[in-house]
Amino acid sequence: ETGVTQSPTHLIKTRGQQVTLRCSSQSGHNTVSWYQQALGQGPQFIFQYYREEENGRGNFPPRFSGLQFPNYSSELNVNALELDDSALYLCASSPVGENTGELFFGEGSRLTVL
């Protein structure tokens, strides 16, 4: 069984640029959530996708957007990058038919904005 995979693992961008992060969910999982984890902080919920529709959003501005594809993989897009966007971005998937909140995390994409 393949777990949650994220790419790229590390990347560096400059302020004002745009970035796309990718996530492949674990086999059999149809829900994908994205979290932002700043240094020394807990993960902060960005949004969740279920059946290609956004199913909940945290307190993040519209320049954070996402997609989910028919194969349940997902993208996180961030436009007009700011220095404070530097963080570890975590993707997590959830099993089909279980609405318990248990998440299976990838190892994350470390974004540095200069």
Partner 1 sequence: AQSVTQPDIHITVSEGASLELRCNYSYGATPYLFWYVQSPGQGLQLLLKYFSGDTLVQGIKGFEAEFKRSQSSFNLRKPSVHWSDAAEYFCAVGAASGGSYIPTFGRGTSLIVHP
52 binds partner 1 (CB under 8 A): no
Q: Which of 11, 20, 22, 45 binds partner 1 (CB under 8 A)?
A: 45
Please report whether residue 90 would count as binding partner 1 according to CB under 8 A.
yes
35-39 CB contacts, 8 Å cutoff, 24+ apart: 35/89, 35/90, 35/91, 35/92, 36/60, 36/87, 36/88, 36/89, 36/90, 37/87, 37/88, 37/89, 37/90, 37/108, 38/84, 38/86, 38/87, 38/88, 39/87
- Of the two residues 47 and 81, which places its CB atom closer to partner 1 in the complex? 47
Residue closer to partner 1, measured from CB, 16 or 73? 73
Q: How many residues bind partner 1 (CB under 8 A)?
A: 27
Looking up tokens 């807990």 gives: 42
Whichever of 46 and 78 has its CB closer to partner 1, that residue is: 46
Least separation in angstroms between CB 80 and partner 1: 26
